[in-house]
Amino acid sequence: MTNERATRSWAGLTAVLALHNLEEWARDLPAWTAIHTPVPELVHASLYSGFTFGLILVSVVPVIVAVGARRLVPKHEPLLLAVFAWVLVANATWHIALSLLSWTLMPGLFTSLGLLLPVSLRVIWASPSRYRNGWIILWAVIVMIAVTLITLILSVLAVTFG
């Protein structure tokens, strides 16, 4: 992957993630979650209070990772880029699945279908074939779960102590 293509890929992925997060915020994902999922009330209250902070966090961290990958570990940049793209595919799949299970339009569904999937799959398709296997997908799912839990914990802490 050329430097120019990698730059465009990082920029595209971080931009569509930011737009996706904006849709989740504008369409009030915490309210949808309270109605359509069995989230405990304490978690819901913390999620709702720290939601904006969490969205900002998950929008900014990928930019930091992109810059770090480009400057600090350029040898592993294609791998990090592929994992990030797979994380976005997993996120989009989650939105689609929950929308189908709840038979409602989950906030984030439109950008999942219109932006996350097409842009992420294009980046994945352009990446080396060794980054299109089950292990990379497994790592992406683990990263997505970890990021979700860390963001939730940081959001709760921000609300509790902020």
pLDDT number for residue 92: 94
CA gap 33, 112 in Å, rounded: 17
pLDDT number for residue 47: 60
8 Å CB contact between 151 and 54: yes
pLDDT number for residue 39: 63
How many domains are contained in the chain?
A: 1
CA gap 94, 98 in Å, rounded: 6
- For residue 140, the enclosing domain spans 3-161
CA gap 9, 116 in Å, rounded: 12
Per-residue pLDDT of the chain (162 residues; tens, 9 = 90+): 677 888 899 999 999 999 999 999 999 888 888 788 776 555 555 566 677 777 888 888 888 888 888 888 788 888 889 889 998 998 999 999 999 999 999 999 999 999 999 999 999 999 888 887 778 778 778 887 887 777 777 766 766 776
pLDDT number for residue 31: 83
The residue count of the chain comes to 162
Token digits of residue 102: 């709840």
Specify the amino acid at residue 1. M
Token digits of residue 19: 């737009």
Opening angle at CA 155, ends 151 and 156, nearest 5: 120
pLDDT number for residue 78: 86
SS3 category, 50: coil
pLDDT number for residue 117: 96
pLDDT number for residue 45: 57
pTM above 0.75, yes or no: yes
